[in-house]
């Protein structure tokens, strides 16, 4: 584990659960070193008493997660808010890269915000989602979800996809990271390029 200019970078080795623990540890250490970075959310428990949920906030966060020691997920965000009770991090202004040890980049993506499950490395990206697959398909969608264990990036929202064969619209897509297979789903149409 190393700290670089307020940024956490756990390196490239280790399991996702170890990395998740390191992320939790990092956020806890950040809160202890700088009390202004830890804030408490306000809510009410079922019995009406105040329920204080801890939020830990960081800027310039880099999160690295791996799957089966072959695939690596790297998420960079300008602002991250971690909820330790739920193992969830809310990320703002996000860049994501998923790489394969043998094949290199599987996909790259940017979005306005994402919700990351630090235990599973799954995430949901929303807002101006744009990305590129390893085979050059460029996609845009309002939201996508990534299941790290199965290696599937998908959406059921309207998408636009461009590749060397043309421009397309569809009702969604599934991208199988391991097979590098991009499937457009439902009402696929070809757009004319002038």
Residue ranges in the chain assigned as alpha helix (H): 16-33
Residue owning tokens 């309002």: 142
Contact between 140 and 169 under an 8 Å Cβ cutoff? The reply is no
pLDDT digits (tens, 9 = 90+) for 45-73: 444 444 456 888 999 989 888 766 666 88
Residue owning tokens 């949901």: 124
Query: Exposed, middle or buried: residue 2 (CB in 10 Å: 0-12, 13-18, 19+)?
Result: exposed
pLDDT value at position 72?
Answer: 82
Q: What's the pTM value of the predicted model, to 2 decimals?
A: 0.71
Q: How many angstroms separate the CA atoms of 47 and 146, rounded?
A: 37
Q: How many angstroms separate the CA atoms of 58 and 87, rounded?
A: 15
Listed residue (58, 109, 97) closest to 79, CA to CA: 58
* pLDDT classification of 9: cutoffs 50, 70, 90: very low
**Rounded to the nearest 5 degrees, what angle is found at the Cα of 64, between the Cα atoms of 152 and 179?**
25
CA distances from 182 to 6, 152, 165, 177 (A): 37, 10, 13, 9
* pLDDT classification of 11: cutoffs 50, 70, 90: very low
pLDDT value at position 147?
Answer: 93
The architecture CATH gives domain 2-40+53-191: Sandwich (2.60)
Collapsed DSSP state (helix, strand, coil) of residue 3: strand
pLDDT digits (tens, 9 = 90+) for 143-186: 999 998 888 999 999 999 999 999 999 999 999 988 889 999 99
Domain boundaries, the chain: 2-40+53-191
């Amino acid at each position: 584990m190393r700290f670089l200019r307020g940024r956490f970078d756990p390196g490239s080795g280790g399991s996702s659960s170890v990395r998740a623990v390191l992320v939790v540890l990092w956020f806890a250490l950040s809160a202890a070193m700088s009390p202004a970075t830890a804030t408490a959310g306000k809510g009410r428990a079922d019995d009406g008493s105040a329920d204080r949920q801890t939020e830990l906030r960081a800027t310039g966060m880099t999160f690295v997660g791996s799957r089966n020691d072959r695939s690596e997920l790297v998420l960079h965000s300008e602002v991250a808010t971690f909820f330790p009770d739920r193992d969830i991090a809310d990320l703002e202004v996000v860049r994501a890269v998923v790489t394969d040890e043998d094949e290199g980049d599987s996909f790259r993506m940017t979005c306005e915000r994402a919700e990351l499950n630090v235990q599973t490395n799954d995430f949901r990206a929303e807002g101006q989602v744009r990305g590129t697959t390893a085979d050059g398909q460029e996609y845009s969608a309002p939201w996508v979800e990534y299941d790290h264990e199965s290696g599937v990036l998908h959406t059921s929202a309207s998408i636009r996809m461009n590749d060397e064969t043309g421009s397309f619209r569809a009702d969604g897509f599934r991208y199988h990271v391991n097979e590098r297979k991009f499937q457009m789903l439902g009402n696929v149409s070809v757009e004319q390029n002038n």
